[in-house]
Structure formats: C-alpha cells, structure tokens
Amino acid sequence: MFHYNQIITLLNIFDDQIYTTLPEENISGTINSFISSETILKYFKTTEEFMFSLSIYIQTIIKERLEDPQNLLAYPLVRKIKSTKEGVEIIHDYKALQLYLHPYEKVTILNSFIKAVFVNALSKYNLKADILYDLLTQNSLYSCTPESLKATLGINYTNSMLKMRILDPVESAIHKLYQNGELPFYISITIEKSLFGSGGKIIGVNFETNNHLAVLRLARLRPYHIQFIIDKLIELLPFDYPFLEEGINQLDDKAIDTIYHMIRDIKLDPDYGKIETSTLIKYKLQHQYQITVPRFN
C-alpha cells in the first residue's frame, strides 16, 4: 500500500542523485539521469513504491509568466521515464528543472495530486483551500489584511477568532502533512497587531512557504555558512565571538542563512558607515536573534 510520505523520500533521492549534480549549462535541453535499483532500495522498500511516487512527480508542470500578463510558457518537468530491472532512467526538461529548483516570482509549480492532498486536508475548516493553495504556491511570501483574507477564502469568523479557529489549525495541519511526507512544503503564519487598543487588533497576516528542496539546500550549506560567519566574527569581534558562536550554533538552518547574507552584504545595510561594522553586526545579532555577550565586571 502506498504511503504519501514517499513524496518527500522521492525528493530526497533526487536531491542526492540528480539535483546536486546538474551542469551549469545544457545544450540538448534535457537532463538524463539513471538511478540503479540498488540505490532506489536504499530509500524505498520496493521499486514499486518508487515508481508510484514517480508517477506523481511526473505530473508536475512548470508555468512561467512572461512580461505580457496574457503570455506564459509551460514546461513538463519530466520528458520521459524508462524502467528496467537494473534501474530507472529519468529524462528531465532542463529549463523546467532549473525553474523547479530555483523558482522566482513569475514561476508557478503545478501538480494536481499535491494540490488535492492539500485541499482534502483542509476540507473540515470550511474555507476555499484550493485558492489558498494557489496563493501559497505562487508566492513564497504572501501578506494580506485579515479582511481581504476572509473575503478571498470565504471565511466568516471575526478577526479576534481568526487566529485560533483558522490560522493556527491550518498551519498545524500543513506542517503535519509535511512531517508525514504528504506535502513537499510547510507554511509559517505570523500576524501583525496594532500597537493601540486592548489586546492588539490584527492588522496583517503573513504566510511564508518553506519548500522541502530549500530546506535540504540550506542544510547542505550550513557548514559553509557557519564557517564564513565565524571567520568574520573572529576578524571583527575577536573577544566576543566565542559567545556569539555558541548562540549561532543553536539557530536553525534558515536563521543561519539569513545571518550569512546579512554579514556578507553588510555594506548594503542602511546603517552601514554610521557606526562601526562590528557594532552594527553585534547589534543585529543581539536584537534580531537574542544572541548576547555576557558582561564581566
């Protein structure tokens, strides 16, 4: 019997065997890959389970919107598969695979099976889950007012009940699907509250979509990112870096990636040059990540 968590397993094997070995350029327009039966069985119990998961994967279509909103391009992610007792040959469309691995704001990844899993899981919440799915898969970051969200999804709850009755349960349900392997992404929902009024009125809702392939990529980059960060801290904050390093090592991969880019691109910060670079970086680490340096008398 097929278990939905094979979708994540499929992405794991492809990330190991295909995605991380792509050439920078490709003239033929396709990427031919072969995964042996021996390798498949390191990830899957049977080759039949692998093939079932692959049958879902090959439904993926990559849609790219052009400058003219009436024009678009669509690519099948997989051109051809061939299975033998020795293994499976997979031929990806090169352009589609590049967009799949590195989507930008004009790229939409379509897969009817994955969408159905998402919609079915949220059916009990009485909202337009298909529209929510489209919003989340077309935008890695999506922000709106509570009023516009309710209108878009057909929600009748008051703003005060929105978080408890809809946002928290939906976020939890999607994360459970991701943990079980049924979806290749999870979402993080944050709310913005007014500084005025009793309890703080909800004035904004922010959705962030976290793709599994991005999660794998950040995990691979973590050692490099941490080494870069520590080298810079030793250079700029030689007396403080041991304490900062201890706090940084406890952060997740996404936070490490953000700190890496913050330090690497510190010259682009609006406060760069107004104070010492070391002071600016230390301030950001302390106030954005609560990484502190003890004071000694």
Distances (CA, A) of 138 to 21, 54, 71, 75, 109: 27, 23, 16, 16, 8
pLDDT-derived band of residue 24, with 50, 70 and 90 as boundaries? confident
pLDDT-derived band of residue 126, with 50, 70 and 90 as boundaries? confident
Q: How many folded domains does the chain comprise?
A: 3
- The SS3 of residue 61 is strand
- DSSP-derived secondary structure letter, 275: B
Whether 100 and 150 map to the same domain: the answer is no
What pLDDT score was predicted for residue 70?
Answer: 77
User: Pick the residue with more confidence: 92 or 70?
Assistant: 92
What pLDDT score was predicted for residue 138?
Answer: 82
Share above pLDDT 90 across residues of the chain, in percent, rounded to a whole number: 63
Cβ-based neighbours of 87, under 8 Å, separated by 6 or more: 34, 35, 36, 37, 38, 39, 40
**295 located within any domain:** no
Question: At residue 1, does pLDDT exceed 80?
Answer: no
- The SS3 of residue 143 is strand
What pLDDT score was predicted for residue 162?
Answer: 87
Domain residues for the domain of 285 are: 215-289
Instruction: Give the C-alpha separation, 22 to 125, whole Å.
Output: 41
What pLDDT score was predicted for residue 291?
Answer: 86
What pLDDT score was predicted for residue 42?
Answer: 95
**23 located within any domain:** yes
**74 located within any domain:** yes
**296 located within any domain:** no
Whether 201 and 226 map to the same domain: the answer is no
* Contact status, residue 92 vs residue 78, Cβ threshold 8 Å: yes
Here the tokens at position 98 are: 């590049």
Report the interhelical angle of 6-17 vs 47-57 (nearest 10°).
Answer: 90
Could you tell me which residues are beta bridge partners of residue 34?
89
- Smallest CA-to-CA distance from 257 within 291, 198, 217 is with 217
Whether 86 and 19 map to the same domain: the answer is yes
- What single-letter amino acid sits at 79? R
Query: How does pLDDT run across 90-123, given as a tens digit for each residue?
Result: 999 999 999 999 888 888 999 999 999 999 999 9
Instruction: Give the C-alpha separation, 284 to 280, whole Å.
Output: 6
What pLDDT score was predicted for residue 33?
Answer: 94
Question: At residue 219, does pLDDT exceed 80?
Answer: yes
What pLDDT score was predicted for residue 2?
Answer: 45
Share above pLDDT 70 across residues of the chain, in percent, rounded to a whole number: 95
Instruction: Give the C-alpha separation, 148 to 154, whole Å.
Output: 10
Here the tokens at position 25 are: 């350029």
Last residue of a domain, one of 211, 235, 251: 211
Instruction: Give the C-alpha separation, 223 to 248, whole Å.
Output: 12
Whether 173 and 250 map to the same domain: the answer is no
**In the predicted model, what is the mean pLDDT of residues 74-81?**
95
**265 located within any domain:** yes
What pLDDT score was predicted for residue 5?
Answer: 60
Whether 117 and 205 map to the same domain: the answer is yes
Instruction: Give the C-alpha separation, 259 to 73, whole Å.
Output: 35
**In the predicted model, what is the mean pLDDT of residues 66-74?**
83
**200 located within any domain:** yes
**297 located within any domain:** no
Whether 89 and 178 map to the same domain: the answer is no
Q: What are the DSSP calls for 187-201, one per residue?
A: EEEEEEE-SSTTTT-
For residue 151, the number of C-alpha atoms closer than 13 Å in the C-beta half-sphere is 5
Question: At residue 296, does pLDDT exceed 50?
Answer: yes
CATH assignment at residue 125: 1.10.10.10
Whether 131 and 202 map to the same domain: the answer is yes
Whether 250 and 207 map to the same domain: the answer is no
pLDDT-derived band of residue 195, with 50, 70 and 90 as boundaries? low
Whether 93 and 176 map to the same domain: the answer is no
Whether 17 and 85 map to the same domain: the answer is yes
* Contact status, residue 244 vs residue 293, Cβ threshold 8 Å: yes
**In the predicted model, what is the mean pLDDT of residues 207-215?**
92
Query: How does pLDDT run across 141-183, given as a tens digit for each residue?
Result: 899 999 999 999 998 888 878 888 999 999 999 999 999 888 9
